[in-house]
Structure 1
């Protein structure tokens, strides 16, 4: 705890901003990935492989490349950028909303893949029985699908949170380093290293390392981690 006192108020703001970004991104990803994984699991078409490749592209694409193209597409003078500003009253680049947008795209594979695996493993007999019993779709989702997918949802949420927390390239390109707005933990760590403030850099790196280790340990502890990837 003594070492943590070397962290400044700006460091703690960056920590809170990172937690906030990870939570918001994870929530959005779970909402988006559930129906997307469901459709992919049941879609039988040659184009499916192309769609899966596009979704998984952030796994192999350098984060700076993705961040650069998002920055270009949503620049204030671009069509998409002007449309975003007209709808929401602000630019997407160099804002917290921009970080969320970029993080959702960059971490999408970590949400879709576990849920896709869960839907593929879902026995159709459960849904057929529910249909024969005349259960409403909402009841089927809450009483059958979600309980059966619980371990896969936990894995997706844990991976999304940990991956978002460690982002650097996308957030740097799309958000920059604005204190209290886009200066997340990874950016602050880079700034400390660049400024030769190794004590602060050590503690920020240690926090990120321990949180990631605890999250992964928890996923292994639930006993379904290998099945859900």
Structure 2
């Protein structure tokens, strides 16, 4: 059962991270370049899960996912299954809950990007999409890695939203954080120690990797010597 929880956890974190990166990159770029009074409001909406108790977010998502609500009813009509207490619902909830941990590092990196590089690329005839994919993304790849790791790690460690939306269905919605709670509740402390120790080691290794990456010096372009000078 523990291996099953590991598999569900890794699958959830991987799918969530992929979706987050696809959504967060354009969101972060839009926020970084937005010149509107609505920007603080949008930033607050994106960052809301960082300060909102996860059970509050889980409660409202549970209402939205219910067949009595338009969203849940439409999903039930299309698929014949409910979003609540399903792996799909867990993915949706995890994406919303981990969104600020991915968007904010990317937004900060985009804001700190040297705009002169984009101007130089534009003068050389590069289009908007060309500049984004060949200048912006390569220059912010560290932030991309950081954002992906943060989203992945936060999804693995999330408990409140997962419990509210997914419940505790082995092989379907039981992730490691729920399995740990279940083991403690049933006084299976040996299994609880194994899960807790594994999560602790994972978190420590991830943080060491991220801090090492952050301290790694940026590669500098070699300067060509001037043959006219000795």
Q: When the two structures are superposed, what TM-score results if normalisation uses the length of structure 1?
A: 0.91
Instruction: Provide the residue aligned with 1:191 in structure 2.
Output: 182
Q: RMSD in angstroms over aligned alpha carbons?
A: 1.4
Aligned residue for 2:31?
40
1:67 is matched with 58
Counterpart residue number, 2:228: none
Counterparts in 2 of 1:217-228, with a 5 A limit? 217-223=208-214
- Deviation string 1:190-222 (CA, Å, 9 cap, x unpaired) is 000000000000100111111111111110011
**Conserved 8 A contact 1:166-1:186:** yes
Unaligned runs of 5+ in 1: 1-9
Asked which structure has the greater RCO (Cα within 8 Å, sep 6+), the reply is 1
Q: Give the TM-score normalised by the residue count of structure 2.
A: 0.90
CA deviation after TM superposition for structure 1 residue 24, in Å: 0.8
May I ask how many residue pairs the two structures share in their alignment? Answer: 216
SS at 1:222 equivalent: helix
Q: Deviations over 1:148-201 (max 9, x none)?
A: 011101110111111100111001000111111101111111000000000000
Which residues of structure 2 form unaligned runs of 5+? 217-230
> Residues 68-116 of structure 1, C-alpha deviation per residue, up to 9 Å, x if partnerless?
1100111012111011223444221111111110000000010011000
Alignment-derived partner of residue 90 in structure 2: 99
| Equivalent residue number for residue 4 of structure 1 | none
**Whole-angstrom distance in 2 between the partners of 1:15 and 1:39:** 35
After superposition, the C-alpha distances for 1:112-151 in whole angstroms (9 at most, x for unaligned) are: 1100001001111111111121124443233211110111
